[in-house]
Amino acid sequence: MKFISTEKAPEAIGPYSQALDTGNLVFLSGQIPLNPETMLVTGSNISEQSEQVFKNINAVLQAAGLTLDNIVKTTVFLKDMNDFVAMNVVYAENFGAHKPARSAVEVACLPKDSLIEIECIAMRQ
């Protein structure tokens, strides 16, 4: 196993890694909309926060030598399921024709009071 870490994504704010590479699979910890330089939440609405989450995911994937096309499963955590449609627009723009398996759930609260968190599993092809 190899721990993946990059300064281009927010540092872990607890006892976990940005990602863990097992050789064939790479497990990305949930990303919230933190700016990696300031460690503050970026964006005041779900669209802006979703964009920052994808920037963070892309940075971690890049550090592992992967892209969004390597993602096989995502889990989207939303503070408010009413934000699903707006989040889904950003999600679709980022993934394009690639459509990984996905779960989306509403949760009571997320770290730093963010509106969204996305975790993913990527596979080396």
- What is the H or E stretch that residue 20 is in? strand 19-21
CA-to-CA distance for 33 and 110, rounded, in angstroms? 11
Residue 73 tokens, joined = 């499963």
**If we measure between CA atoms, which residue out of 35, 47, 40, 123 comes closest to residue 84?**
47
Average pLDDT over residues 36-40: 97
Q: How do residues 42-95 score in pLDDT, each as one tens digit? A: 999 999 999 999 999 999 999 999 999 999 999 999 999 999 999 999 999 999
CATH dotted code for 2-123 = 3.30.1330.40
pTM of the model: 0.97
Residue 70 neighbours by CB under 8 Å, 6+ apart? 26, 61, 122, 123, 124, 125
Confidence band of 112 (pLDDT split at 50, 70, 90): very high
